[in-house]
Structure 1
Amino acid sequence: MAANDSSESTISRLEGARKLALSDSVHYPAIVQGVAPIIGQGAALDLRRWGADFLAETYASPAFAVEEKVKLSFAALPILKAYLEADDQDDAVVKSSVQAATSMYPLVFRHTIYTPTDITTWQNMAAIKSSILRRMDSAAPGVKLCCTKFIQRVIQMQTPGVISDPRRPDQNEISLSLVPRDHPLIPPSTLEAEALGLLDRLLDVFQNPAGDALQVTATLNSVGVLVRTRASIANRILNTILSFDPFRLAYSGTMDAKTKVMVKSMERTLKAFLINLNKRNPTNPMAGRIQGHLDRLAQMHNDAFDTTGRKRAAPLEPPDGLDPSKRQRLAIDAFGAPALPPGPVSMAQLFTLTADDTTKGFNVQTIPFNMVNRIVVPLLVSVNQDQLTNAVSIVKQRLQDLSGSSSATAIAQALTGAGQGLDNGTNAASDQLMNRMEAGPVATDRPPEVPTGPFIIPQPPPMEDYEVTDFGKEMVLRIFGMVETSGETALFKMPTKGFNRVAGSNYDRDGWVTIAVRLATRTTTGLEASGVKEEDGSSGGPAFSLATEIRNVLHQYVLSDFRRRIGVAISWLNEEWYNDRMRSRSDADAAGSYDGLVLRLLDGMLPYLDAKDKVLIRFLSEVPAVGPALLERVKRLAVDPERVALAVNAIHYLVLFRPPVREICIDALEDLWHNYEDARGASAKVLAKWRPEVLGEAAPQAKVEEAKPEVAAKMEVAA
């Protein structure tokens, strides 16, 4: 009894310390270090439960600094290890310990990456991980759910992620990409193999026919993060989930209330998972399969649940004719059309199918004509076919009754009344209708042909210079509007292919880009403005140049997303180079546009290139001409120590695969070796092969460090 009182008093004091830490996270380090001896393995069960909960809460707190969490891990890891390896296991202690280990694993993983000499910390974490994995299949349901989250965190850490900024590794996401290949404690190959094995173990619940619905739901909630952040394993996870049938328990036999709740829970979680994936990235390659699976889930839901309690369908035909004693009443005349009055009948009365006086008194002529045009087509589309057939039948029956009532006099009176109903004072309409009914079709007389002379469209008035400028810019914007809105695939397929096809004839995005490039490079003089007149009457420079305007818009279009639109830039520059060569044949002194445009494009791309960007190599390898000015821009990259390798590799690629510019590229490498200290090592490897006399005494050492023979092939594949 005294021990229980002591334990309760201790927990009350610990709760006071916990409230202090929740009020201000600065107190967490002192409190954790102070309570560590109290909550150890030798403590009472109540103290161990409190200690495990407190550690899980501490490492899950977003207000607690990450650096302090790492420091406290050195004291907390032995406590968690003792909890999980104790002989007298308690589910509450184990559950909270697994939660704490899940929060600690990324912190310890990053600490081990940058501190490979701290072997003890990683050994404690590895022992905790092994203990959690061993109890994955045999633990209580609550513990198994926590183990699922821990496995998901391990897979996330031990698979490659995206490095957003190589220059700031502390800001990047913790993943296998940060681990060096020669790390002594956590070799990347071993960790990745373990992560893939754990992923298969995690996804096995979707392939097990007797899988637990609670475990399936927990797994679906866990793997969503992996699909979004780990592209290397996203397809494997999605393929497994798309082959999962949440209604498999419903096919086993009669469903009780528990089974129905489990099936609906799995179905809702699966639908939420798939819908969120499509919402986050509607253009992902799996969007079609995901939407198809969602449709199949809806159909399977109807087959599994909607059949119970559903009334039988109504028969297509009434079993006893039109018996009014039946509950379902079927009327022949659904409109309740009133009977025609005796005597002459107007056209309005002939086509009136309603007994509502308000509707009959409405004058449709008050509706504007443009509004009638807008509402008639939707109304006709929405008309019920059965009701329309019934209405036509009623009007047809009325006409037959009128035509066979007495004689032609009665018909003439009816038609005369119809003419009066149309507010027509003459009997021309009734005479025409009588002729059609009695004498057949009436021959119409054509008016005599009037000879007409030739029609000539008058010439438009001349446009002002500002009008030419405005219309030209509007045309350019419309062309690039078509480029933005057109799809990747052609709208119209041309019968000819290969070299015989017509460029820009497919009306897709590439076609409109080709049209814009050709307008910029091959415009005729008729498309250019003549010039602006000065005050003295002389003609100044051109008011508007279509080619210049298109080039400016093309330049902005390419640089707005140059990694995806590098192909557009290369096609454009090839056309510019071809245009310069064709103009030089007729005018040797004509100024070309290619050299200035290629430098302008490269200047726009260089500030945004990182050390591992391959777009520069592709750009230099596919542009039609490379000159000294272009190489000067590339050499400026060597000013940044992190982009020295990018500059040297780009020039080395030109040396290997563009022999016409090999000499000026080797000259550029020689300049890098002489004038850029950071580039000496990389450029010396290339110069040792192609110009060893530049290195002098350093040539033998450079040859030893020369790249392997397969470097060229790898560079070609990367480009």
Structure 2
Amino acid sequence: MAQTAVQLNQLNAARNLVLGDAALYPQIVNGILPIVGANSRMGGAEFMAETFSSPVLSAPLKEQLAPNVLQTIQDTLALPETDVAVLQGLVQTAASLYPLVFRHIVNHPGDNKSWETMTTIKEDILRKMDSFPCPVKICCVKFLQRVVQVQTPGLISDPRRPEQNETSLAIVPRTHPVLKISHLEAEASGLLDRLLGVFQEETCDALIVNATLNCLSPLVRTRQSIANKIINTVLEFFPTRHVRPPFTPTVRVNVKSMERTARALLVNIMKKNPNHPYVGKMQMYIERLMQSRLEEVDDASRKRAFPIEPTDGLDTAKRARLDALTPPLLKIPPLPPGPTSYDQLFTLTEDVGLSSFDVKQLPAELVMKITLPLLQHVNPSTLTQAVDAVRNRLETITKEQNLKRQQQQNATSLDDDDDYEPDYEPMDVAEGAEGEGITAPDQAAELQPDLVSLGPFVLPQPPPLSEEDAAEVGRSAVSRVFSMIHLTEPDPASTASGKNKTQQLGFSRLAGSTFNQDAWVVLLTRLATRAPAGLEASDKTGKGESAVGSRKTTISDSIRETLYRYILEDFRGRLNIGITWLNEEWYNDRIQMKAAAKQRDESEESDEEPVVALHYDYWATRLLDGFLPYLDSKDIKVLVRFLSETPEITIPITQRIASLARDPERVNLCVQALMYLIMFRPPARDMCLDTLEDVYNTYEESRPAAGKVLSKWRPQAIQAPEPVSNGTSAQQADTQAAVPQEPST
């Protein structure tokens, strides 16, 4: 016993260590395996289950630790164990280990021993599953779900990154020496039938059924090959058919829980996929579950109802006298004192349980189905008495409110007439008190105990922030604002039509006018451009130095860098954010240049010239350099949209477009982009024609497409082309495109 207590203490200490630092998991797991024996199986099983289900421990480390734990689990399962907690921990650990061991065998085919041990554990669990207690059976259901999910083909999200794909039969090579795809798939089909067999039994356990329904949702969502089979099986399951009388309250609760879990599963499937082909069947199934419950309520109400006519053989005269009897008078309780609510106004019963029942808990359809039949059997005289009682209450409350309103108006008019209010002077009161013999303040002070007089409390001033602290606070504020972009969704109106049709927005719009993604983007771009306007010029730079490179990194620069990275993560979907940002940069540059020119004119005699930090050219070319390598020949719409909505086309931008011609597959993309600028942006036409002429003379693959454009806009370039070496021009274009342009000063 002492040794067992010591080992349990060691396990608790190990658990506390890994909860404090997840990096200690590999050392702790390998260290406690020798002490997880017959005397400490319970603590060891719980620790293993927590370890391999912990989200803190990464999947590669779990996969590395999995082969070391398999033999211990196999030896513990082989023991004649009767402790439910130990069996639960072992089955949960096996459920977490199975996908890890499967991926390990896929990547390391030579490790046959680990796969044989995992297969032995799986067979042992499946063989003893029916004899396990109910809590362990629930864990076995989860184990079956994991095995079926792993041994069924799944979707491959990215073939180039196999380590990020989901563990399924799709990642197993066809020529794998250990894993046979056909055998594993057949086994998964049989285990799925065993998992769904609980819905076809004559009598079923509500706990096992609910556990199975909860485990089916991941299979339906991730495994399309077996989703329809699972849904069809659930649609054929009706809990009321799998219970036997007598219908005790426990049986009714079990049926209700199974119906609620099945309904939640189908509603979740319809929310995830509204266009599912079985949506109609699932809605009919849910309505049928509701109808069966309503029929049960109606049957119960019929059993408790009074007979319409006497059944004891009364004569005709007796029946006539019964019909002639007047209905009893309805007892109306008085209203409680104080303000009256609508609930109290229409409450005509003294039953506390009935008056405290919240009707909002019932669905509207159910209330209508119950209310309409009840109204047909209500006595007209009783209904008239109830309506008259509510009417009398309402009239009484209205009269009282009118009377109070008149009294308040009268009191207000009297207060308006009395304009004189004497000032209160405490000294007069003290003098009168001395004259009338009341205890003077001096005597009162002698009678009272000594009190310490407290002065006004003032909070100390906070210490001044250093530059590093202020920068850190600014970065944290920017990160919080950026998190709102991820939480909000883009405006559906702007997404569908490219702009909001109901409101014309421009540079002067309020950034916080809406709470969608566009509002947060405008707020960020204006924090980066307009907020530091005029402050960046304080760092003087000489001629030939960069205004951005010589300054320290500011909050605006960090916002720009974060925006740049955020756009490049998905430049096709976030291109509108980049266009908004560049428009704000260009607008801010022009405002700053205008202000600098005005300042220069006012101080012509001063030797110092105002320094203006320009950002548009630098970030436009950098953003273009960021996504140009990822464009293909089908992305002409993306490139044309960027060039069409960019506020200004410069020579560095046209040089970046010309660099696309180095790739023979993207020559047409380059020529089409330049042709669009030539046709629809006249201020940049000559610049783009010069660039297109250079592309025509440098790259032979571009001559068929570029020649058609030049023949219309600059035919003299085709008639007398200049002999230019292909290698030299290409090298110059590479050099110009590779060197990013710093912002001008």
Task: Normalising by structure 1, report the TM-score.
Answer: 0.45
User: 1 or 2 for the larger relative contact order (CA 8 Å, sep ≥6)?
Assistant: 2
